[in-house]
Structure 1
Amino acid sequence: MKKWWIPVAALSVAVAPVVARTPKPQVANPDGVQTLDDAVTVCRNSGLTGWDLVEFAQRLVHRKFTRYSILSVWEPPALAFRNSRGYCNQYNTALWWLLRELGFDAERVFATRVRQDINPWWRMGHMWVRVTIDGLTLDVCAGRPDNRPGRVSFTPVTDVMPFHAWTYVNTNNGMILFTIVNVWRSLLTRQPLPRWMEREFGSTVREQG
């Protein structure tokens, strides 16, 4: 008798604490935007063009997200956008999709390590969008409210590489395993989850005080 249910049961037990610790979505609907299709409509109705429209789209995505969270890493970008929570793979993929729907030449890129201006001591991987208009290519990221095309709150310290569909799958799978390990560590040590896993969107990893 095949015991296919054993790894399934083991995976269910491993993931259960992550699901239990994932807060309910704190949904925001700026300008009435609930879905990515709504965002396309709002952007098109703005009357903006060029870099002004890129910035409007970037800020709209930022306003839609309320929580930075890797606890909901399994949500595809469209669902993460609807639920107003996620991490760079989710919120910047949502931005990339929106910009492409608006007709822009946009590509996803990533670096395995970046230095964040708001957390200069923190090193982490990051994915963002590069947009090209009339031969000018600028970095665009929805992670901070003060970001603008060409002015982002991080500096790559490793090579910048293309971000493909398989890259999304690989990095997400790695993040899922990393999340499971850290949630179990928090559970066994009876310590709160670290802020880099779940916090107010756009806030720093280290609490201010």
Structure 2
Amino acid sequence: MDTLNLLQKISVYALPILLAITVHEAAHAYAAKRFGDPTAYVLGRMTLNPLKHIDPFGTILLPLLCLSVGGFIFGWAKPVPVNFGALKNPRFGGLWVAAAGPGANLAMALIWTLLFKLALAMANGYSEPLALMSQAGMTINVMLMALNLLPILPLDGGRILESLLPRPLAWQYSRLEPYGMWVLIGLMVLGQFGGVNVLSLLLSPLVRLMYGLLNMML
């Protein structure tokens, strides 16, 4: 994809990015309702309508900037509101609410892999565009899944870890949440300007595992 110009990259990545972020958030909303908290459902966030989830900067401008400079594609949607205290079992339910987003990205990565396999089997004018879009979908969902599973609050991996820790440790760990996004931004900045891409090093084991799984399907 390095040979594509910016407009071509946007046409290839737009749908996969939109789906990856939208389905991720809708999955959180569905899991929250399933385990007892209807907040997101009442607010209309349990939907695949991307307009309900788009954050103008995180969903549109930041991914565009990443595409234009050729760096790590990063973005987010409006977080789904979850009242963890309203869950039937806050710790157990909270774990599954957090896991639903990365799980949705795993499912989408598998679907894009099947579409890539279909593109390879086709012999018409749609083969190359579908193959490029499928590769983009695989990459975006693998990276979004791996990134969200980092054990840093407020990321999903942090929520999962908080749910698994003994209550006293979970409470101490939860106090780190205000600093979590700054830690993540710091890791990204180190990767861009520090010479050592710490974030890539942290993500690479799970990313390699995921690509190994997807390659088994091809």
- TM norm. shorter chain > 0.5: no
- TM-score w.r.t. structure 1 length? 0.32
- TM-score w.r.t. structure 2 length? 0.31
Q: Which has the larger share of strand? A: 1
